[in-house]
Structure 1
Amino acid sequence: MTVSNPPTPAAPAPAGEVLLEVTDLKVHFPIKRGVVVDRTVGHVFAVDGVDLAIRRGETYGLVGESGCGKSTLGRAILRLNEPTGGQVVFDGTDVARLKGEQLRKSRRRMQMIFQDPMSSLDPRQPVESILLEGMHAHGLDRDKEATARRLRELLAAVGLPESSLRKYPHEFSGGQRQRIGIARALAVEPDLIVADEPVSALDVSVQAQVVNLLEQLQQELGLTYLVIAHDLAVVRHISDRIGVMYLGALVEETGSQELYENPLHPYTRALLSAIPVPDPVIEDSREQILLAGDLPSPANPPSGCRFHTRCPWRQATLCDTDRPQLREIGGGHRVACHYAEDVRDGLIQPHKVEPELVEAASVNPDAAAPDVGSVTEIL
């Protein structure tokens, strides 16, 4: 993918300008079983104790394997999935405690760009109706002339002609549909946009256009982004800071350049080693980490460090018994690993990991072969 040269990064926002702060956020989905009366036989721990803060005007990238809970976290921040516990403080207000009209009004300032641009747009509505829906819900379409001007501005901002207003979603390409999704999010003048895999369903050439568009809109409108993705190249290009998620929790968080140059958590090292390098000499000589075994079930996560079943640096003490907390190593670099410094300094050497397969019975302890869907479907 080819992208334009990134703009000169803005100065970091002062510590007091935190727009979104998430504290110990949890989203647990109950596993139900029964014929006449449903009973809860377990829970899927999709998000289990996440702490993060996003400053006003920055882009925070969230990466991890499929099924780690990234999308669930983004939806829980917007209350599209109800949090089981924790706080979501947006501009001084705990969104997790809002109800009714207060919650509806707060959503004007927090919008989402969904992963699949086709399924997220109503195929029975023209673009004009799609863009007007949110404006009407928040009383932003009272002046007919001003509303028409606003619609033209939205389309111009995302690079679509005015004639698009009369067309339906199926008449556009994938990249154009994603631009309509971005225009819909911008229609209510939000402060925060959660972009859930905004380019994963697009061709590589179109991905670059959408990524550059998001950066341009951020500069012009002062937007704050939470970008959820699994494409590490996209995240590196667009993000100011990056959080790495594994099985419902953050395992590492730091600035974009620092993460790629100095990864401290073993899981982050494994992710980065999977990025191919076009130079065959470097590719053959660099560290490559292949994770053994399956991703553990979020319905029955391992004790202690949740990565210890697949970790090449696993130690006999602490890893199996004590869950590491996300702690700061220095310079805003946070990592959830008991032995991060020893791994960094080469005091602990990687070893072979025996793969551990996830059995079906571990998902539902009350049944041998439960039908609860795959990890990705659940999350």
Structure 2
Amino acid sequence: MSGAAPANDLPLLSATGVQVHFPIKRGVLIDRTVGHVKAVDGVDLEVRQGETLGVVGESGCGKSTLGRALLRLVEPTAGRVEFDGTDVTALDRSGLRRLRPRMQMIFQDPMASLDPRQSVGAALAEPIRAHGLAEGRAGRERRVRELLDAVGLPASAAGRFPHEFSGGQRQRVGIARALALSPDLVIADEPVSALDVSVQAQVVNLLVDLQRELGLTYVVIAHDLAVVRHMSDRVAVMYLGGVVEQGPSEEICREPLHPYTKALLSAVPVADPDVETVRERIILRGDLPSPADPPAGCRFHTRCPFARPDVCATERPVLREVTPGRTVACHFTETINGGESTK
């Protein structure tokens, strides 16, 4: 769970109807658009100050694209993103630049996001200098030492280059760079998936400790439900560009309501061998459909063991609240989970 102070009721970040559609181009002399990849297709989210929202789903579901759209690292095709009352999607370049220090990102692959020709000290000092957050070279160097210390690296690391570090150390540098401008919101895109298992827990614990110390708000994007459960206050489960279930982390992990969430959780190993041998496993049939040509109706119906073709193949379910704080996009939630059908 999050190590921050209890979140207040006002959202720091909210997304309404966010879409990111990438055009598919064809042609030799003249490019023409023949379709769109619907990477994100109508997502609503809220993140309250001081909490951690986990966004989980299999590869290709659009969660990383969503994270970038929330910061406008990619431009949303439609929808609205608000940060602390400001419409991020309506800002011009200068307005977005003024807001950037408060919204930062930790990338999945630190080696790809760090300049191999630039020392770690120079990489950390660059945003500080660009935004005028320290006076003179001495002030920037002092801030760099503070950042390295905060992520558990020695001051001598400032003079070294990315290739001289291990994967876990490079991710610590990526975390330090995200913290360089003292942000309020950090979006962590698969922050530990590229690391050895022995290092993952160290980095996760570091993120939790930093949240507690600095009062950060996190959006953690991951496909590993164990990481999300440990770090998150609430979870949003994505499938093929849309959110299919949202709710408190412990409740979703203990009692998932959507068939896709059930399948994701059934794939997570359990440490108890007695439980592991008897628990139900849900094997999804078929492959993830293409986001360039998603199925009609419920996008999960082609793989869902509970789908009914007369409804699921024709009507797209909307997120609706089924219990306080729990929303799910499924036509037959109550039937699947032992209650009465809503249809």
Match runs of 1:327-338 below 5 Å: 327-338=320-331
- Describe the SS at the equivalent of 1:251: strand
Match runs of 1:171-210 below 5 Å: 171-210=164-203
Distance 1:9 1:169, change over 3 A: closer
Counterpart in 2 of 1:284?
A: 277
The CA deviation at 1:347 is: 6.1
Tell me whether 1:218 sits opposite 2:204 in the alignment: no
The CA deviation at 1:7 is: 7.3
Find the partner of 1:299 among 292, 297, 300: 292
- Distance in 2 (CA, whole Å) between partners of 1:168 and 1:339 is 54
The CA deviation at 1:222 is: 0.4
Match runs of 1:341-360 below 5 Å: 341-345=334-338
Tell me whether 1:317 sits opposite 2:317 in the alignment: no
The CA deviation at 1:201 is: 0.6
Find the partner of 2:117 among 99, 124, 127: 124
Tell me whether 1:168 sits opposite 2:161 in the alignment: yes
- Describe the SS at the equivalent of 2:111: coil
Counterpart in 1 of 2:85?
A: 92
Match runs of 1:230-245 below 5 Å: 230-245=223-238
Choose 189-198 or 278-287, whichever is displaced more: 278-287
Tell me whether 1:142 sits opposite 2:135 in the alignment: yes
Please tell me the residue identity of whatever aligns with 1:267. Y
Counterpart in 2 of 1:374?
A: none
Tell me whether 1:27 sits opposite 2:7 in the alignment: no
Counterpart in 2 of 1:253?
A: 246
Counterpart in 1 of 2:40?
A: 47
Choose 104-113 or 135-144, whichever is displaced more: 135-144
- Describe the SS at the equivalent of 1:295: coil
- Distance in 2 (CA, whole Å) between partners of 1:58 and 1:8 is 9
- Describe the SS at the equivalent of 2:170: helix
Query: Does the CA-based 8 Å contact 2:52-2:219 persist in structure 1?
Result: yes
Please tell me the residue identity of whatever aligns with 1:312. P
Counterpart in 1 of 2:267?
A: 274
TM-score scaled by structure 2?
Answer: 0.97
- Distance in 2 (CA, whole Å) between partners of 1:161 and 1:57 is 28
Query: Does the CA-based 8 Å contact 2:8-2:50 persist in structure 1?
Result: no
- Describe the SS at the equivalent of 1:189: coil
- Distance in 1 (CA, whole Å) between partners of 2:307 and 2:106 is 38
- Distance in 2 (CA, whole Å) between partners of 1:141 and 1:33 is 49
Query: Does the CA-based 8 Å contact 2:128-2:134 persist in structure 1?
Result: yes
Tell me whether 1:14 sits opposite 2:8 in the alignment: yes
Choose 316-325 or 81-90, whichever is displaced more: 316-325
- Describe the SS at the equivalent of 2:115: coil
The CA deviation at 1:42 is: 0.3
The CA deviation at 1:145 is: 3.2
Counterpart in 2 of 1:357?
A: none
Find the partner of 1:115 among 94, 108, 112: 108
- Distance in 1 (CA, whole Å) between partners of 2:299 and 2:118 is 45
- Distance in 2 (CA, whole Å) between partners of 1:36 and 1:271 is 45
Query: Does the CA-based 8 Å contact 1:132-1:141 persist in structure 2?
Result: no
Distance 1:7 1:270, change over 3 A: closer
Please tell me the residue identity of whatever aligns with 1:201. A
- Distance in 2 (CA, whole Å) between partners of 1:155 and 1:89 is 31
- Describe the SS at the equivalent of 1:119: helix
String of CA shifts for 1:242-297, please: whole Å, max 9, x gaps: 11000000000001100011100000001001112233332232111000001011
Query: Does the CA-based 8 Å contact 2:17-2:44 persist in structure 1?
Result: yes
User: Cα RMSD between the aligned structures?
Assistant: 1.4
Aligned length: 341
- Distance in 2 (CA, whole Å) between partners of 1:177 and 1:192 is 21
Counterpart in 2 of 1:59?
A: 52
Counterpart in 2 of 1:363?
A: none
The CA deviation at 1:9 is: 6.8
The CA deviation at 1:80 is: 1.0
